[in-house]
Structure 1
Amino acid sequence: MPLNPHTKLNTGAIMPTVGLGTWKSKPGEVEHAVETALRHGYKHIDTATAYSNEAEVGKGIKASGVPREDFFLTTKLNNPDMGHPKEALEYSLQQLDTPYLDLWLMHWPAPMTKEGGPDKSIDWLDTWHEMEKLYKTHPDKIKAIGVSNFCVEYLQRLLDNSEVVPAVNQIELHPSCPQQAIVDFCTSKGIVVTAYSPLGSDGSPLLKNPVVNKIAEKHNVSPAIVLISLQANRPNVNVLPKSVTKERVISNFQLIDLSDEEVKELNDISKTESFRACHPKWAGWGNLGFTEAV
């Protein structure tokens, strides 16, 4: 399975296969990670208002000296902001110090109050409709819109009741969380999938998995590169490795081709070792319908 250098969105735009993820990146470190990534070949930076690091990401972009038009930038609408997406968009643009976003995602289909509880007065679908309007009326500020953490059921509801097909669905993907049904559904609808937590997050047991390490030794690379490469080898999928360590940011970009047999071995890990890295507190809210979706 040859590596794909990029994926093509349903808007016609090109989205790089590998981007820098910034979830859980500590304050004071994100700026330097972004600067390092852009200076060493990365063409996609991913952040979110919920990460509380958009301003630092913006500083890292400026410090890199890379022209804005030379890379792809993604951020996400925060759950407590789903009642006022227009203001949230302006806030993100200001924090990132950028005139436009290449991709703006609904972070979760989970409207929340500022206090952190469920906001039952807001339907996430109504918020999506507002995002559609902003996308259509402000093409100078938003090049594409999409979603994150959406299961097939939620995607189907969106498609049945909307005009704009999401360009991307960003979900957790790694050998212990393959979510193939969602990937297949997105592919059938022309929606690109972005894989977050490709290593299984910090301290992941996947980094010590014997299958992963066997393949890493064969290719003379780190286990992390094997796990990132697995997602980069999947059709219609791009991937967001995260690190704030200069050496790892650079090495994570040096991916390898995997054979079909190696891909099968890695995918089979889920049969005996299954887990999720992301367990938000709202995953148990029955009124939101989250079961396997989160």
Structure 2
Amino acid sequence: MTSPVQPTVLLPGEVRMPLLGFGTWQATGQAGYEAVLAALDAGYRHIDTATMYGNEREVGRAVKESGLRREDVFITTKLPPERVGRERETIEESLAALDLDYVDLWLVHWPPTTPAEGIPVWREMLAARDENMARAVGVSNHSISQIDELVQATEENPAVNQIRWSPSLYDRQVHAAHRDRGVVLEGYSPLRTTDLADPVLVRIAAAHDVSPAQVVLRWHIDHEIVVIPKSVTPERIRANADVFHFSLTASEMRDIDALGG
């Protein structure tokens, strides 16, 4: 199928990251491979994996077999905390498993256990980017103060911080703090942490003739927050990708923001 032109956000180095991505946590083996293939067929052009997920090989195979050009698919993987000190080896293993020359985004999956290790790890991430193993580098599950420490030490912002995010977790100050620092906010578990029966979401979904889940995904996109829903069910994979034919009004956005208390 022909996918609509998808909205993107600009990362440093003129890297365009699609605002809608496909999460692959817990999608392993043949089921993982089939889910990624289904996602690419449904129009996703951004796939999120991690060393910790144990599915980089399946992700790489699905991308290869999708028939899409490499430059048309944005691929993220992540460095696990127990690989501190083995960053270079880890990205090389990821690229080998994915069967790629580079990833579009490499993230520090969790802050290292010892805070003092954070800056050396970040310097290794930057080195991998400078050697063209990753087009952009960032972090995941980091607080604003942890991001500030990295920037103060290296004068290099993480391109992205991937954190749990949804209407019920909405925090205007956290959102603004990322924007002020030029760090793209990327949300994971958008549906897992949402009450899809909430009357506000049900009302807005009815107004647009879509599902509450589609409203939640569109809310992220209209905020220019990257969102990575995950599913291994083909129907749900397609429904989650079908969010480009409507947008939310300013008052609907405010009503959904208010769910975060």
Partner in structure 2 of residue 191 of structure 1: 183
Structure 2 alignment gaps of length 5 or more: none
Task: Give the alignment partner of residue 196 of structure 2, picking from 200, 203, 207.
Answer: 207
More RCO (CA 8 Å, sep 6+): 1
Q: Where does structure 1 lack aligned partners over 5 or more consecutive residues?
A: 112-119, 272-294
- Report what 2:156 is aligned to: 164
Aligned counterparts of 1:97 and 1:146: Cα–Cα separation in 2: 21
- 1:179, CA displacement in angstroms? 3.3
Aligned-residue offset at 1:205: 5.1
**Over residues 183-228 of structure 1, what are the superposed CA-to-partner deviations in whole Å (9 max), with x where a residue is unaligned?**
21121121111111111x2xx5511212111111221111110111
How far the C-alpha of 1:92 sits from its partner, in A, is 0.7
Tell me which residue corresponds to 1:292: none
Q: How far, CA to CA, are the matches of 1:90 and 1:122 in structure 2?
A: 24
Kept after mapping to 1: 8 A contact 2:219/2:248: yes
Q: Write the distance in 2 (CA, Å) between the matches of 1:11 and 1:205.
A: 34
Q: 1:121 to 1:12 in 2, by over 3 A?
A: closer
- Asked if the contact 1:103–1:142 (Cα under 8 Å) also holds between the matched residues in 2, the reply is yes
Q: How many residues align?
A: 255
Is the contact made by 1:46 and 1:75 (CA closer than 8 Å) also made in structure 2? yes
The 2-side partners of 1:54 and 1:252 are apart by 22
Provide Cα deviations, 1:124-153, integer angstroms capped at 9, x if missing partner.
2211111112222x12x2111111111111
Higher helix proportion (structure 1 or 2): 2
Once the two structures are TM-superposed, the CA of residue 257 in structure 1 deviates from its matched residue by: 0.3
Q: What does residue 43 of structure 1 align with?
A: 45
If the length of structure 1 is used for normalisation, what is the TM-score? 0.82
2:168 aligned partner:
176
1:266 paired with 2:260, answer: no
Report the 3-state secondary structure (helix = DSSP H, G, I; strand = E; otherwise coil) of the residue aligned with 2:134: coil
Match of 1:28, SS state, is helix
Q: RMSD across aligned C-alpha pairs, in angstroms? A: 1.8
Alpha-carbon distance in structure 1 between the residues aligned to 2:162 and 2:110: 10
Aligned twin of 2:138: 146
Q: Which of these residues, 44, 54, 57, is aligned with residue 55 of structure 1? A: 57
Output the TM-score relative to the length of structure 2.
0.92
8 Å CA contact 2:150–2:156 kept in 1: the answer is: no
Asked whether the equivalents of residues 167 and 259 of structure 2 are also in contact (C-alpha less than 8 Å), the reply is yes
Aligned position for 1:74: 76
How far apart, CA to CA, are the structure 2 residues paired with 1:224 and 1:172? Answer: 16
Tell me the percent identity.
Answer: 38
2:14 maps to: 12
